[in-house]
Amino acid sequence: MSVLVPPFTEETAIAKVRLAEDGWNSRDPERVSLAYTPDSRWRNRAEFPTGRAQIVEFLTRKWAKELDYRLIKELWAFRDNRIAVRYAYEWHDDSGHWFRSYGNENWEFAPDGLMQRRFASINDTPIKESDRKYHWPLGRRPDDHPCLSALGL
């Protein structure tokens, strides 16, 4: 496979999306932060973290609240050093209420392949535990698990 730096091809964009999904499914804020430039800028809902330290703080809070988090990302579009994805993740709160969160992200990459900008829009939908679609063990989504399109999401 080619190196995962811009400009992206369809193959490298798909691989970059899967690497991001795998990182987030690790739920390891330090590991995830290393995929971003030291001065990376985000918009995530109404929060605006800048830099790796704030990204780690944000993700630590996120995964303390969003328990049993499982995520699927899917390439939407790409061009040069930008990738757009759509995604959905399932999680529950500390009261056992389940949610599916749907979102879109726009990514911009530095020449070295690290993400320098991430803009996310997300909506949460309460679901019954019986309506969950993501049942793999915590961590990386298995290669044979259906993608968002195959799940009708």
91-121 pLDDT, tens digit per residue, is 999 999 999 999 999 999 999 999 999 999 9
- Count of CB atoms within 10 A of residue 94's CB? 8
User: pLDDT value at position 13?
Assistant: 98
Q: How far apart are CA 107 and CA 105, in angstroms?
A: 6
Q: What is the mean pLDDT of the chain?
A: 96
Q: Are 74 and 83 in contact (CB under 8 A)?
A: no
Q: Are 98 and 89 in contact (CB under 8 A)?
A: no
With 90 as the cut, is the pLDDT of residue 3 above it? no
User: pLDDT value at position 96?
Assistant: 97
Percent of residues, the chain, with pLDDT higher than 70: 98
Q: Which amino acid is at 5?
A: V
| Residue 148: burial class (beta carbons within 10 Å; 0-12, 13-18, 19+) | middle
Q: pLDDT, tens digit, for every residue of 52-79?
A: 999 999 999 999 999 999 999 999 999 9
Domains of the chain: 10-135+143-151 (3.10.450.50)
Q: Which amino acid is at 60?
A: T
User: pLDDT value at position 1?
Assistant: 44
Tokens of 32: 């995830």
* pLDDT confidence band for 137 (50 / 70 / 90): very high
For residues 4-18, give the mean pLDDT. 97
